[in-house]
Structure 1
Amino acid sequence: MDNMILLDIETGDFDVDSGIYELAVLVIKDGRIIQSEHIAEVYDERIRHLGMGEGYKNISENQVMQERFQHIINTYQFPIVAHNVSFDRKFLVHYGWLEENYECYDSVRAIKYANPNLFSYSLEYLLNYYDIDLPLTHIAIDDVYALFEVIKKVDPKKWIPLYKVPPKKFNKFVEATANVEGESLVFQGRRLVFTGASPFPRILMKEIAAKCGAIVTGNVSSKTDLLICGEKPGSKLEKARELDIEIQTDEWFIDAVSKDLNLETATLTRQSVAATKETRYEKITYTKIPELRGKFVNIALLPFRIQKKVEDILINHMEVAGINRGTNGYKVDFIIHSDDREYVLLGKAKEMQIIAIPLSKFNRMILS
């Protein structure tokens, strides 16, 4: 996609009531930036560096700021692209900055199509994986430039617009598909938890999740893969953040389901599901890392949801001698760890000449 309006927002929290604090926009024409805007109002310059909207005023209902954004939209009329666009769009539509039917695309989805075998698609992980020397500051203007560099590097060829389904259509969809044969694989084997108020009936969303291969549970734990949030999600959201569990919105969930299930007509055949199974999961050939063969590897510093996958690759493809999951496990040759944190174990590993490999680097090595 050569023409787009790339954007990033910083909000007070997950709920739309928390407000918009920053909106950064890059207008991309023929693959080049032709305009940039940082729509925000600083109230405390001393804490801006903290990111996440710190140091900025709530501009959700600021008419002047809203008109600046709408002027860009109306001038270029390019589709909007954002990283996890359903989240940004939820805020922009709620406060009247964006029309409900404006065309939006999710860069996460486009990058997944281009490179489906990454362990994470967070912006920070992608910057590390593609070796892009830019920090993720959580200041909107910095992050939108970082996203532009990632998109340039990946050069996605497949862009699918965000599916926007009204709740009333969703009710019809659930009734129509209650007895559908076969299942989608979009959430195959993943543990999902739903929380928060939603216009989409929870009992029906859980039914759809189950049809898509998910294991739906009521509580967040270290085994949870994904938390789907409506408004005012409460303690489950806090616990998911503590455990570094992926968090998405109701709108994201509906969009993800729409890839395999036709929400307009609510029809699905066994044949179409079978085709999905064949095309979605192709056998991956990993590049062997000779240095790992016959060695012991510690994976304790990886999120629980990723440990099992990495362990499978290490044992079945890298032929390691053994796996250690202990946070004080120093009798190893290598440690594979998350990119986004500093750990005491890594400091001690350096003293003991244990080789530490960031997850993004390991990911790059096995896919090279």
Structure 2
Amino acid sequence: MTARLSDQPWLIAPATRAVMAALEAVGGPGCARFVGGCVRNALIGQPVADIDIATTLTPDETDRAIRAAGLKAVPTGIAHGTVTAVAERRPFEITTLRRDVSTDGRNATVAFTDDWAQDAARRDFRLNALYADADGTVFDPTGEGVADALAGRIIFVGDPQTRIREDYLRILRFFRFHAWYGRGEPDSAALSACRALAPGMSRLSAERVSSELMKLLAAPDPRAAVAAMADAGVLAQLLPEARLSPLFEAAVDQSGDPVVRLMLLLPADERVAREAAVRLRFPNATRDRLAFAAQALPAVSLSMSDREARVALYRHGVPAFRDAVCRRWAEAPAESVPARRLLALAEAWTRPPMPVGGRDLARLGVAPGPDTGRLLKAFEDGWIADDFPAEGHAARLTALVSARRG
């Protein structure tokens, strides 16, 4: 199937043309082609974020060509053939055509080549093994990549088990690409290979796994892909704590936040959430969100009053309160009105500062020490219970001190 990219803004942008012209000035016409996601997304009408380029030039030749054109060249991955060109503050990742010499399931030793078919043969899926010249003419070495992209088929290049054994992360990438670009049932041969080789994911670094998982959960609707992962034993391999349930189904409808979706795959247990996050080396912010939401959950219900909600917000903070509301809403999907009310309240909430401190107690003759902390805690509890009044603090504090002395 022949295809041609339309004149999209990124394709005809001066920065893009400058980079391609710099490469062709050294290697001649056709020495460089756009590759992968930018070609695929342009074909199917999806946004293009990163512009990757493949070239027959060696990394050294690429570096010299970019610099000779007055552009910035950054050797971001010379060992693997990658140089990043920067034109008008936009990065373009340029990689020399490669073939695999050896692989260990995590990393590959590569040799450079000038054969486009060899480069395509080492890629993961046929819809990612697409190239396009500077004028937008598409090249499809596998002969099926364009058709796959248009039909929403995620099919490995060549034998699925061979591709997976080269890099076990491709198991997760299969489900991630199905979530983002797939339509209909997942490819049966790919599913069989993923099921058979799922234990090989234990060789992968936790950071690679967690990054890929979050990209999958960020898809517009990852439910079918996650269900297929569970059925193939892949979800249990990487996140044994996860459980598919109506909660996850509801979470996808209610929020596009991948952390909320992850939260609804896990039990509402702070210890379990922390252990899973630490094992997969999620960022600290993600780990804490999962744990704090579990902490806040007992204090949150969709039937709570605004006053009760303000107490929970003060005690647990806006992010944890909001995440706990999302979980309660997933538990009762029909209760959208109270859930949205609580989320709106949280959005508008500003935590009031504690209106008194140790100096106020010192003025009342309370010496620094354990009594200071106890009195301030008693004041805060009463102030919260009375819905954070803005006045009367001196009288309340004086009464507490008097009661303590009495």
Q: TM-score range by the shorter chain?
A: under 0.3
* TM-score, normalization by structure 2: 0.23
* TM-score, normalization by structure 1: 0.25
The answer to which structure has the higher strand fraction is 1
Q: Which has the higher Rg, Structure 1 or Structure 2?
A: 2
Which gives a bigger RCO, structure 1 or 2 (Cα 8 Å, sep 6+)? 1
